[in-house]
Amino acid sequence: MSTFSKFCCIATLTIFAFGLPNGRIALAFELGVGDWQAHGFASQGYTYTSGNNFFGNSRHDGSFDFREIGINVAGHVYPNLLIAAQGLYRDAGGSDTDNFRLDFANLDYRYPINDESTIGIRLGRIKNPFGLYNDTRDVIWTRPGVTLPQSVYFDALALRQAMIASDGGLIYGRHTFGDHGLSAEFVTANPLDNTGGATEFLTGFPTAPGRMTGRPLLIGRAGYQWKEGRFRLLFSIVDLNRDFRSSSSIVPSGNIKTLYPLASAQLNFEKWSFTAEYGQVITERSESLRTLIPLKNTSESFYVQSEYRFAPAWTALLRFDAFFADIHDRSGKRLAQMTGLPKSNFLSRDITFGLRWTFAKNFMVAADYHRIHGTGWLSLADNPQLLQGAGDPNWDLVTVMFSYRF
């Protein structure tokens, strides 16, 4: 199918409807059964790079292999019991080939203790509570730019799908007192680490036939906010301990432990927003999974970001984010000596300028320009040349996305 034909197919699917369980998008299509509603969105993107590939074969000619379409249905079967489910179609070149998937489907029971405090439980396929943006990261209307800061929210790396959702349970609580609010969430669930190439990413082997098993994924997120989000602080942590059961005599079995703490802060004014997040990914693999990469390693990720709403329909974005594969080797020199690959393979520094225009009700177009040094968060599926040290260390990325919601 030609690129133009694909775009036309995507456009026709915008008749569907989408919604978020927390009600951030208020527009809806009433189903006529109680308070059940359906909501929808469709987004088509374009990426162009001067070197390397991002979301498809984007180098020089550009790529239209970047689209997101969602349909959601939600409603109450009892006053405090909500059922919500969302199907998602996503295409992002070689870094995301799952196409159609069940994004989330869960029961959410909320119990108000009093006017200030609420506790609840969510069961099923749930969105992982992590950082400021993970819960709704597939919807460009809730992202500050066309893409999220790749140093923290890995879209091109194979770990992405495992980060977004999991199958299990979430317990949450909220308490308000005056202008202040506290929140806490805890997840125990089966991670989706047998999808999207996560197995290869976690084991360190380019091809790793087999399956992940082991104890459930643990996630916690605690938050504080002032004046209904004028100021927000969050601390999130992911604890993963999995056993890889190889189905090949060539690739060994082994254990992988990963801990990902992330601190987040955001300050919002009428026209300005300032955001920063800082995290470390602490990984330990068993001796049997030894590769050229160290068995024990801590990477570092952070970004600082400002948004300026200079007109009712316009928002400008400025962001700097950085990723270092080894916190003790920010230059990449030691890892380069160990692997024989360029230093730029183990780090990324990205300066982003963005612009968003909501040109009509429920229609939006956004564009970002990135100047990047390093290839640390690029997809090997889109860039196999990185394994031979042939990547471009200094490159430009332009992303454009058109989106419609209702």
Q: Return the closest-CA partner of residue 245 out of 217, 215, 288, 209.
A: 209
For position 34, what pLDDT does the model report?
63
For position 9, what pLDDT does the model report?
39
For position 333, what pLDDT does the model report?
93
For position 256, what pLDDT does the model report?
86
| Domain locations in the chain as residue ranges | 104-405
CA 392, CA 372: separation in Å to the nearest integer?
10
Residues near 217 by beta carbon (within 8 Å), at least 6 away in sequence: 166, 168, 187, 188, 189, 190, 191, 238, 239, 240
Indicate the pLDDT class of residue 6, thresholds 50, 70 and 90: very low
CA 246, CA 240: separation in Å to the nearest integer?
18
Would the pLDDT of 228 be above 50? yes
Mean pLDDT to the nearest integer, 149-170: 87
For position 252, what pLDDT does the model report?
80
Would the pLDDT of 159 be above 90? no
Mean pLDDT to the nearest integer, 50-72: 93
For position 292, what pLDDT does the model report?
63
Mean pLDDT to the nearest integer, 195-208: 66
- The CATH code belonging to domain 104-405 is 2.40.160
Mean pLDDT to the nearest integer, 284-303: 83
pTM to 2 decimal places: 0.88
CA 56, CA 94: separation in Å to the nearest integer?
6
Would the pLDDT of 227 be above 80? yes
pLDDT digits (tens, 9 = 90+) for 323-353: 999 999 999 999 999 889 999 999 999 999 9
Would the pLDDT of 116 be above 90? yes
Q: What is the mean pLDDT of the chain?
A: 87
Q: Lowest mean pLDDT: which of 53-57, 118-122, 156-160, 381-385?
A: 156-160
